[in-house]
Amino acid sequence: MSQQVESYDMYTKQHNMRKEVLDGLSQVHKILQAKYFYDQAGSELFEQITYQPEYYLTRTELDILYQHQTAIADCIGPVHTLIEYGSGSSRKIKSLLSSLHQLEAYMPIDISKEFLIQSAHQLSQDYPDLQIKAVCGDYSESLRLPIEDKLKKVIFFPGSTIGNFDPAEAADFFRRSSQLLEKGDGFLIGIDTKKEATVLHQAYNDEAGITARFNLNILNHINTSLGGTFDLALFDHVAFYNEEFGRIEMHLKSRIDQLVTVANQTFTFKQGETIHTENSYKYSIEEFQLLANQNGFTPVKYFTDAREHFSVHYLEK
Ligand code: AVJ
């Protein structure tokens, strides 16, 4: 393996996962955090989602990144280190690695360790002069990064993944990210926009049923990692647009009354009861700029597609 890739493990998975899953399943309205979708199988299923015809997000964001490649690089200016949050696969980052000015280092951060390290090694073949520091870590919590303060940094957070946070969590997230940055450093962030509910609905209810498998896989992840007894055949995938909150909600709905054990704790499910597995907030351009502005970042420029189905914002600290 190439020495160009260094890796750092800052993720204490077992400990956090057990506590957070048990807490979530103990609530009156059962809930699981979306980050638990992403074991190896979940990361692969998400990759497949991004190729579904209904899931316009990834395709549209990629188009924006490539269409505006030069404008984005010029807007950002010279940058030493590019940090990427939740760096699943490498299709998006390549547009930046190929165009950013004076880039020396790339730091992908992800909790899915094998997937992260595989991708880092693959990238190192295409960018032999780039230092790659792969960090296995959870960016939804405080992180200390192996990085020097003085060098200009940009955080790339694509995919509208910030939509998994509710507005208060998003505010926290901005504040924590800001602590990793100096004045003048930047944030390049992909945001799914508000649009007709049917377009949103279809994106999370694809014909091929991949999103359903992705949603159900969270139960498998719990079974394997925490000794759970979930029977995936006894839950249904549910996803809908909640207009009032401006978010897609995903749930897993129990088909029958049943008991499930996780890490030696037993949970009861009524027929029709759901586990809330994900929120995916959508923002108009103005709403997102306001959110950024209220949390220590100045919107510099945004890039979008002809239909404004997706947006990529450059923000500066
Ligand atoms: C990776 C969080 C952006 O919310 O669209 C895809 C995850 N969930 N289909 C999204 C997801 C169901 C995705 N994010």
Is 228 touching ligand 1 by the criterion CB < 6 Å? Answer: no
Which stretches in the chain have pLDDT values below 70?
Answer: 1-3, 12-15, 88-89
Residue nearest atom 14 in ligand 1 by C-alpha distance: 161
Report the separation in Å between the CA atom of 124 and the middle of ligand 1, taken as the mean of its atom positions. Answer: 27
**How far, in Å, is the centroid of ligand 1 from the Cα of 211?**
9
- C-alpha of residue 41 to centroid of ligand 1, in Å: 15
- Whose C-alpha lies nearest to ligand 1, atom 3? 161
Determine the distance separating the centroid of ligand 1 and the alpha carbon of 303, expressed in angstroms: 20
Kindly give the distance from the C-alpha atom of residue 104 to the centroid of ligand 1, in angstroms, as a whole number. 30
- The Å distance, Cα 229 to ligand 1 centre, comes to 25
Instruction: Report which protein residue has its CA nearest ligand 1's atom 2.
Output: 161
Residue 279: the pLDDT is 98
Beta carbon of 87 within 6 Å of any ligand 1 atom: no
280 lines ligand 1 (CB under 6 A): yes
CA-280 nearest atom, ligand 1: 4
pLDDT at 144: 83
pTM tops 0.80, yes or no: yes
Residue type, 189: I
* Predicted complex: ipTM over 0.90: yes
Q: Is the CB of 164 under 6 A from ligand 1?
A: yes
pLDDT of residue 232: 98
Residue nearest to atom 5 of ligand 1 (CA): 280
Q: How remote is the CA of residue 198 from the centroid of ligand 1, in Å?
A: 16
